[in-house]
Amino acid sequence: MKTAEIAQRYLDYFEKNDHTIVPSASLVSPDPSILFTIAGMVPFIPYLNGTVPAPYARAADVQKCIRTNDIEEVGKTARHGTFFQMLGNWSFGDYFKQGAIEYAWELLTSPEASGGLGFDERDLWVTVYEDDDEAFGLWRGIGLPEERIQRFGAADNYWSTGQPGPAGPCSEIYFDRGPKYGRDGGPAVDDDRFTEIWNLVFMQYEITNVRSKTEFDVVGELPKKNIDTGMGLERVAFIKQGVENMYETDQVRPVLDRAVDLSGRRYGANHEDDVRFRVIADHVRSSLMLLSDGVTPSNEGRGYILRRLMRRTIRSMRLLGVDVATFPELFSASRDAMSTAYPVVTEDWDRISRSAFAEEETFLRTLASGSTILDLAVEKTKDAGGTSIAGDEAFLLHDTYGFPIDLTLEIAEEAGLSVDRAAFDTLMQEQRARAKADAKSRKRALADPGVYREFRALGETVFTGYTDLETESSVLGLLADGRAVDRAAQGEIVEVILAETALYAESGGQVADKGVIVGPGFELEVLDVQKPLPGLVSHTVEVTVGEVGLGQPARSVVDAANRRAARQAHSATHLVHAALRDTLGRTATQAGSLNRAGYLRFDFAWSQALSESTRSEIEEIANNAVRENLEVSTRVLSLDDAKAAGAMALFGEKYGETVRMVDIGGPWSRELCAGTHVATSAEVGLINLVGESSVGATNRRVEALVGLEAFRSLAAERALVSQLTTSLKTPREQLPARIAELTASLKAAEKKIAAFEARALADRVPALADAAKAAGPHRLVAESLGSAASADDVRTVALQVRDRLGSDPAVVALGADVGGRAIVVVATNEAARSAGAKAGALVKIAAGVLGGGGGGRDDVAQGGGTDVSAMPAALTAISEALAA
């Protein structure tokens, strides 16, 4: 039975039993505290914990999941994989234990011919929580023998989020793979032979004072009891298909087979190669699915996880003897295997493949350079009798060559070495600290999501801002430092929850509105507006006048000028997107955006820089749409109807069952968008593309000024051109040629000056050599040259002076100010080195005084620092070191 057929049978069964079929949520988690959807329950958490009322009483789904905490175990066991699909059926205060157990048993044991999964009852075992006599009795009631029902403790059969809130016992269903796989006696004896396939969670209690997974206090029973079940699709598939593990199922095996073909090695020949084949099969599928959900490779967050999966794949292929690009073959195989269940991987193949292939090309170059350096580090460590590669060398590989630390760890382990991870982590922390030193947070952090639950339970915050710039409401909640309070006085910064608001909460790339909230005796300046939970708006405010309290009437007032400019920017973003697709084609899809008053930033899928003519064409198309005064209309309709109408659903956005579709000029620009927009395109005013750059191997970014800001920018450029024409006494059309002529003249003059300075330094060589003094057994020249054009000039002079000092032990240490930075070069002859003078060691002494660093060979070395005034002390330090 194919994997897709198992999933469809599951959905058909539960739809027949009055469950709403819910499409899989994105792999990009809606929960800001986790990167990915790591379990089938993640999209339903707001319904399960009561934060958001469930829109249906019972539901079923096939949820895509990614989990990488056990990435090192992938390929080594039958059940560890990074991408998996979780079949789930859910009850929100509807049926409970009896219904969940009966549904699961009927689906599992009904014959395939009647739509079931056809498991033999004799192969199924069950575990229940040790005190759950009710579940035990229900399993007995459907005919399961008592000896195939085992009781486990809270560590195995009790579910909670690990936080105060809903919890409850669970019952797990296991399949007996037979004596070939281990001892008899059920899951309590051998969980390799007995494979868990389905977990039924009975969410019936509220817990508090959670101390660990097994230690907590039960407050009492929940008023509404929920069912949360999860059946692993891959596990069911490898059992139904009669294969050994998930890597050999129909959705994964084609990639493994293609890797076998490319490598020329046989699957099943040896354990190490088999693990590599499985890693490749798993990671390619996971990468494909992440790319299909809009994740792109990067060095942070989700993008880093994707990059790690892809690079582990490349590394595994290299260990199988393949050092050329293989993604075109491997990803195509995965696309064909997954397209039946997920047509998007075929529909978006151009974008997905472009991103994957570019990442492989980049990393193959990284491997070529980084592997050589790492091999030298391994060799040096072994030659010195060491067992651990230095942390600074691992950091250099990561920071300079883009060589990921996990790959360094793997290669070191293969060579029988470890890596000084503590030193590496320290250097990483220092780097992050430096990067963040000047960064300022744009907005205050929101409170813990659980704090908002009671407010969300009162209903959704009504947003009136599409039509109104002022709205009367009342204060439902006040939060100070994450805690609910009754009042807030002048000068305090708090969060305010209103029943209705005209203020737009940041989302969809549009920043939050500016404005005020006013009421009897108080005025609040709005600093930020966010949605901490779906359907709930929180206003971060500063109390500027009076005191605000719970229950008081409050009027939200939008800054009209700022909103007008924000609307212009958001509509302009849609126009630029349409112009990009019109110019570059349908694959130039949005990958992120930011729009605020007078400005837009737009990221899109594209792998090469735009020419000046292409940029001009895009700008002209967008501004023509402004000039044509196209109607901007919005409709609220179902997601399916919007997609059928051709609306673009953008990656990274979360959509409900109903969506808001924004048309500009009918179908010319049709996108799903909750932002605020102008009424006609002419209101945008003007779009001025001011920048285009790379934001990754497969993404580009355009920036534009909009409306009055665009006019001001063009007016400033006009004034600048006017000033240049006057100063250079050159007509406007001849300015480029005149500036090029002046630039060429300046470069020629700089070249002549540099040559003159180099000759002047060379002329000083005899006098410098004559100034040599004794320092221990050496003759030492330690002088400052003043200023120099480059460090190379200082180095050249140092070598020339050294050559003039003959064969006696001689050391030359010359310093100079090169562009405001202190540079020191040390050169030694063979006799000096034999007497113990090493140029690299001496440079480090001087560089330490100068506030910097340096190093090099024993015969010549270079260093420097930021403190030019310390040069005399640095040269003295060298003299003292030689004399000691």
Phi-psi region of 270 (alpha: psi -120 to 50; beta: other; left: phi over 0): beta
Instruction: Please report the sign of the dihedral spanned by the C-alpha atoms of residue 579, residue 580, residue 584, residue 585.
Output: negative
Is 65 annotated as belonging to a binding site?
no
Cβ contact 540:530 at 8 Å: yes
DSSP state of 447: P
- C-alpha to C-alpha distance for 778 and 806, rounded to whole angstroms: 12
- C-alpha to C-alpha distance for 421 and 395, rounded to whole angstroms: 10
Is 398 annotated as belonging to a binding site?
no
Q: How many CB atoms lie within 10 A of CB 582?
A: 17
Rounded alpha-carbon distances, angstroms, from residue 711 to 714, 717, 754: 5, 10, 44
Strand partners, 478: 496
The phi and psi torsions of 706 (rounded to 5 degrees) equal -130, 145
Within 13 Å, how many C-alpha atoms sit on residue 82's CB side? 29
The three-state secondary structure class of 693 is strand
Cβ contact 844:753 at 8 Å: no
- C-alpha to C-alpha distance for 335 and 340, rounded to whole angstroms: 9
Cβ contact 130:171 at 8 Å: no
The residue type at 479: L
Residue 613 tokens read as 């003519």
Instruction: For tokens 């007996």, name the residue.
Output: 176
Cβ contact 469:503 at 8 Å: no
Cβ contact 29:42 at 8 Å: yes
Is 170 annotated as belonging to a binding site?
no
Residue-wise DSSP of 333-348:
HHHHHHTTT-THHHHT
Cβ contact 228:60 at 8 Å: no
Residues in the chain: 884
Give the residue among 251, 285, 252, 291 at the shortest CA–CA distance from 7.
251
Give the residue among 202, 193, 204, 257 at the shortest CA–CA distance from 229.
202
Give the DSSP H/E element, type plus range, for residue 290.
helix 271-292
Rounded alpha-carbon distances, angstroms, from residue 774 to 181, 781, 849: 82, 9, 22
Rounded alpha-carbon distances, angstroms, from residue 274 to 252, 313, 319, 594: 14, 13, 12, 46
Cβ contact 572:602 at 8 Å: no
- C-alpha to C-alpha distance for 485 and 687, rounded to whole angstroms: 46
Cβ contact 218:243 at 8 Å: no
The phi and psi torsions of 764 (rounded to 5 degrees) equal -85, -5
Give the residue among 239, 322, 340 at the shortest CA–CA distance from 277.
322
Give the DSSP H/E element, type plus range, for residue 381.
helix 349-383
- Largest Cα separation within the chain, whole Å, is 106
Cβ contact 546:552 at 8 Å: no
Residues 266, 272, 275: CA angle, nearest 5 degrees: 85
- C-alpha to C-alpha distance for 821 and 586, rounded to whole angstroms: 51
The residue type at 790: S
Annotated binding-site residue numbers for Zn(2+) = 570, 574, 673, 677
Annotated binding-site residue numbers = 570, 574, 673, 677
